[in-house]
Amino acid sequence: MLIQVMATTKRDYYEVLGVERSCSPDEIKRSYRRMAMKYHPDRNPNDKEAEQKFKECAEAYEVLSDSEKRQRYDRFGHEGLQGAGIHDFSRMGFDDIFSMFEDILGGSIFGAGRGRSRHRASRGFDIETQITITLKDVLAGVEKDIEFKRRDHCDHCSGSGSEPGTSMQSCPQCGGQGEVVRSGMGGLFRMVTTCPQCGGQGKIITKPCKQCQGKGRVIKARSLTVKIPAGVHDGQAVRITGEGEPGQSGPRGDLYCYIKVEPHPFLIRNDDDLVIRLPISFTQATLGATVEVPTITSRESLTIPEGTQHGAILQIKGQGLPNLQSGRRGSLLVQVLVEIPKKLNKQQKELLREFAQTEDKSVLPETKGFFEKLKEHFSKEN
């Protein structure tokens, strides 16, 4: 008898979850949540490929969400996890996976569970969308009208899946229990599983609805006005309770609106501060000056002290962005860039030459320090 052993190569866990190796634990959790939602068995019935990807995501999350296991994986790869107590998700049922990650799956996305919990109301799926705003919106907060699509109750059958005027009947395979019992090893043990015919509902549809083909759900468009608070950061989400998909005799899921902040033409965000790079002339830096600096909504006066160096950072307090919790505004940080003129007229050159003759280079601290280090370096070599 010829037995062929097929070698299986596991994918990189970071690749499975679609995250960078330097990502934070929150990013790993959020990515797993999205991937699990995408490949969830209730959304992909009888899809073996989706089932495999769902279990693959669970395995990747088990490792990367544990700091010790993640450290071993980063150093040694899959081989470093041998003996680390990693579950074989390929052999596990969905009920077991749900129980392991109840904080993410059981309570927040996938409802009360499957099979044995069929009599409990299950919560609907959460859904996600993206809202693009500007830095000016971050400053004051904004309300945005959004449109999105979600699976919702079929109006024709009121979400039952049965054609109006017909009724469901008790499942002949499980006798209305929603579960079937299988025996193994000559009756030494019994295994209770979700009924494959009714999916744990205990009833089956005799005549499917013509509009939704018995699913009880159809895709519908939905419009909402979302209030986005001042100080929100790029990548954060505004949660709107009860605007997700309907559950199975349970509450709706939630809508998560992820925020994308458009880049500003000249302002860069650094937490609650804003940074701007401001070009000034050689004479302004040397003699000092008062200049106008653009902010998000207006212009502010800024005093350039005498002798300001290239790259120096000056601060205008209260002209940054509000803190999301306290509302207190950060600062506008102005980085000074001294521009050296490329072309000078005859008079300007003569004036600079006269100024050069008055310079005492030996007392310039930066110059003195540099040449002293240079002299010391070559003296050591000789």
Contact 64, 70 (CB under 8 A): yes
26 or 103: which leads in pLDDT: 26
Tell me the pLDDT band of 369, cut-offs 50, 70 and 90: low
What is 52-93 written as a DSSP string?
Answer: HHHHHHHHHHHHHTSHHHHHHHHHHGGGGGTTS----GGG--
For residue 306, pLDDT over 50 is answered with yes
What is 139-193 written as a DSSP string?
Answer: HH-EEEEEEEEEEEE-TTTTTS-BPTT---EE-TTTTTSSEEEEEETTTTEEEEE
Q: Could you tell me the residue ranges of all domains in the chain?
A: 8-120, 126-168+205-262, 268-371
Rounded Cα–Cα distance for residues 73 and 80 (Å): 6
For residue 332, pLDDT over 80 is answered with yes
Least confident of 82-96, 278-292, 293-307: 82-96
Residue 184: both structure tokens together: 């193994």
Instruction: Give pLDDT tens digits for 136-177.
Output: 999 999 999 999 999 899 999 988 889 998 888 998 888 888
Give the pLDDT of residue 87: 55
Give the pLDDT of residue 285: 93
Give the pLDDT of residue 380: 66
For residue 114, pLDDT over 60 is answered with no
Instruction: Give pLDDT tens digits for 36-64.
Output: 878 877 677 778 888 888 888 888 888 89
377 or 130: which leads in pLDDT: 130
Q: Give strand pairing partners of 266.
A: none
- CA distances for 267 relative to 190, 260, 295, angstroms: 66, 16, 8
| Torsion, Cα of 117, 118, 124, 125 (10° steps) | 70
Rounded to an integer, the average pLDDT of 338-362 is: 83
Rounded to an integer, the average pLDDT of 311-334 is: 94
Give the pLDDT of residue 3: 27
Tell me the pLDDT band of 342, cut-offs 50, 70 and 90: confident
Q: Give strand pairing partners of 226.
A: 144
Residue 100: both structure tokens together: 């392991």
Give the pLDDT of residue 185: 46
CATH number of the 126-168+205-262 domain:
2.60.260.20
Q: What residues contact 238, with CB distance under 8 A and at least 6 apart?
A: 131, 226, 227, 228, 229, 232, 256, 257, 259
Instruction: Give pLDDT tens digits for 208-256.
Output: 999 998 888 899 999 999 999 999 999 888 999 999 988 877 788 899 8
Give the pLDDT of residue 308: 93
For residue 345, pLDDT over 50 is answered with yes
Does 268-371 match 8-120 at the fold level? no
Least confident of 104-113, 181-190, 301-310: 104-113
Give the pLDDT of residue 231: 94
Give the pLDDT of residue 295: 92
CATH number of the 268-371 domain:
2.60.260.20
Least confident of 76-80, 181-185, 255-259, 303-307: 181-185
- Average per-residue pLDDT for the chain: 81
Give the pLDDT of residue 317: 94
Rounded to an integer, the average pLDDT of 291-310 is: 93
For residue 183, pLDDT over 70 is answered with no
Give the pLDDT of residue 288: 94
Tell me the pLDDT band of 120, cut-offs 50, 70 and 90: very low
8-120 fold: Helix Hairpins (1.10.287)
Q: Which bin fits 102, alpha (ψ -120 to 50), beta or left (φ > 0)?
A: alpha
For residue 84, pLDDT over 80 is answered with no
Tell me the pLDDT band of 377, cut-offs 50, 70 and 90: low
